[in-house]
Structure 1
Amino acid sequence: MKIRNKLLVSHGALAVCVAVICAFMLVALETTDRNRRRMADSYESLRQLNELNSDSNRMAEQISELLSIGLSNRREVTEVSRTLLARLEGVRDQLRDDIATAASDAARQRDAEMLEWIEVILDRTVRLADIGTRMADLVADGRIEEARRIYVVQVEDGLDDEISDLLRSATAADEARVLDAIDRWDRQTELLRALAISTVVLGTGLAVGAALVMDRLVSRPIEALARAVDDLGQGRVTRPRPAPGGDELGRLATRFDQMARAIARQQGDLRTARDSLMVQVAERTASLSQRTSQLEAANARLTRLNDTRTQFFADVSHELRTPLTAIRGQAEVALRQPQATVADLRQTLSQITRRSGQMGRLVDDLLFLARSEAGAIAFAFRDTMMQEVLAEVMMDAALLTRQRDVTISVTQPSGPIVLRADPDRLRQAIVIVLDNAISHAPDGTAVTLDLDEAGGRIRLAVSDRGPGFTEDEAARVFERFYRGHSRGARGGAGLGLPIARWLLEQHGGAIAIARTEPGARVEITLPPGGAQGGAAWTS
């Protein structure tokens, strides 16, 4: 586009802006006129409501005068009621016409609300006129006291107040509409004032803008082209280049810009290829590093699993071989003594029975572990009283203390403690803990069981006066096949306490070493109501 055409376009744009402003002003004037008409209608409606209120009051006064001056004003009552009813019907018909020709939904809604008020007022006025006629008839018959009662009950304390309230409500609504129309008029005036100021500012701005455009059309394109030539000569093609145009200077700038863009595109392609190569190298390096970390972690897990498996088989082999070796040795000794007495054979058989019992308990524990890992341990949860479980535990404890000089003391609340549990599995867990305490308690001491419920948890503490646990033992005592050294009264397979912990966890509970030494205190916590478990064993 030539420079002359650009000037025409700029002036045309200025004319369009002025036309748009004029159109806005016409719309504002039309809106102002509409607000003026709405306000005039509201004033007229308010005037009619005031006249209705005046007629209503006059009608009530005429009815009340029936009681004071008699039938001489009966004609005035009739005329006032007819005038009021005619005025109400006229207002009602006018509102119906206004609703039918309303220009907006808001105006239609306001007229509909006013129509509802007028219809209610019309109904109450008809009733008031009927009461006035009835009172006139009563006065004519000489029944003035009955007429007075009707006036007090139905007119003075009833319809008169109700009609006045309705008229006041309608008047308040009309006054609100008048105020709203005045507010709209004020806002419209402010808008017109703002448009006038905007017109002046916009006209001035467009004039200044036209002058600036003229400056940019000639001098600035030449300066921009000169700067671009200097930048290109110095090897910089990233600085702003002159915008292409349709005139002579624009065509020159366009061709120069095409050349500069081609150079910049080549340099950009080279930078993109370099950046892409760097990104690919970084991604592959990160991928290799991640895979290396994953392989190292997997290798470490496999190593731990292999060590655990090896240790497991070694522990099982040792635990089974020790009693088997003892049984075999005792049997061979008995066979090599043909002159052995019955007492010797009984002692040998007793030792073989004890060793075989140890093997049986180990096999039972291993079988329990295998079934728990397979998720095959079934739980029969039901409402269980903790005191009943402890009673069964005490029956088992009688067998555990038969060979020991150890007593068992139980402290429990008198009120029942109920939880949701499998009583057999819960008893099994408690017996394991109690058996461990009895085994390490010195002769002549007592093992105590303290049961209570506090803080929303059921707590059972098992305490003994044995050697207790070291800090390291307390941290590892619930690991499978772990056997401490400080509580060395009786060797075991190291499976009892881990099994007890698993059983308690299936009940939503926990087990912990509360005191290490002197003596040990093992605390079992369970939730009231319990939890239905049955998950597989986790070590």
Structure 2
Amino acid sequence: MQTLKARFALLVGGAALVVVLAAGALLAALHASEVALERSLAAQARLDLLTELSGRLSDYGLASIDAVNAPALGRGRIAAARAEVERALQTVDERIGREAAGAATPLERNEMATRSRPVARLRAALSLLDRQVDAALQREESAARTDAVRGALNGFGAITGPALSFLVEAERRAVDAASAEARALTNRLRLGAVAAALAAFGALLVLHRAATRPVLRHLDAIREAASAIGRGELETRLPRQGRDELGLLVAGFNRMAGRLSRRERRVAADRAALEETIAARTADLRAANARLEDIDQARRRFFTDVSHELRTPLTVILGECDIALRTLPPGDTALRAGLLAIRKRAQGLHRRVEDMLRVARSEAGQLELDLRPVSLLPILSEAVEGFASLARSRGVALAFEPAPADVEVRGDPEWLRQIVEGLIDNALRHAAGATRINVALATLGSTARISVTDDGAGFPAEGAALFERFARAGGYGPAGFGIGLALARWVTERHEGAVGLETGPDGRGARVVLDLPMEGRERAA
């Protein structure tokens, strides 16, 4: 039985033979085309040189006629024209000599020799014309000079005209012959290409029927069997068709189908067991989820209760500190400093408790915003003034950049002030290395933009996660409750606005941006 390797070797060898024959024929045709093209180009080049020589001779004759009236001035023009004629004649002579030396056949060398003789006659006639023109220009009378020059030119034309005509006609015939040869070669190549294409097609067709059709027929059977296996018909088998590569492939296919059939039965049994396990685990997950929901509700209640329980003692502590500070003797600076420290820490803790309570209420849907038209300028000014002393104590320059005109939005003034204070407080506490915090108010179309920018270390890579409740990025400033940005986002979204984190304008630091719709934007639109 012939193997697939032998069949494919026959196919590849036949195709390679066809390619080699086609390449040989193509190379021969290209060589013949190159020879015909070179002949045509050489003849055209010689014809161009003869045309240039004829033009130079005409210039020489015109210069000679112009010199009749002014021989002293005309001799320079004659000399220049004579040099151009000599250069053109030398070029023609050298071209004919090179092509005669490089001729491949005696016939071509003979043709070049026939062109050399008229060129020699042109050179001799030109020398004679030079002497005649020089002698004519030496005459004293203008009429005599004119007649002598014209006679010399007429004699030169009578001598050189037939020679030039012969050369031009010879080159034209050479161009026509080369063109005719190229056309004939093109026709032969066209016929040869058609014949070669037909022969190659016939050879490839024979090779296809002998080598590839049986293989393709077996492959189609394998493809159909594989499709049946894909549809789940795992009992499909192929008949053994020999001991070649295809026979081995069929045997392997049948073994694969048998293993798949046995594996399907095992998988069905395992799937039934897995479904029972999944059902049991699903019941466990539902129970665990219910327990987690109870724990979350308990956590929320605990969070709210703790916040309420902490507010009262903190309020008492702050009140007692204020009373003690008002009644403290003026000279007791140490006790005043201690009370001030206690009051400052208590105020910070009180703000955190209030924030915790607000988040808990917002999560439970218990907060109601008092939305009304408010001006942002006094709100931001109050927030900046409230942190001015704290910023100075920490060596941070806190600045406020208002908009050119006041901006009015529809919102809750207390909540807006608190979230701006929270952002300033976050910048003071968390912006490591910050020396400046800038609070700015600007307008973008119908949107009011509040930005809090610092020149600190910037937000970490997980900055977007800081909007989640109790989120604290590792290494980003001192520890906190992680609810400032979460509260800012919650309040901003209830004002139909948006909050975002950006990098500072100089590529470092951090910026928190609050965008709020301006009051009356529908009327303005």
- By the TM > 0.5 criterion, same fold? no
TM-score, length basis structure 1: 0.35
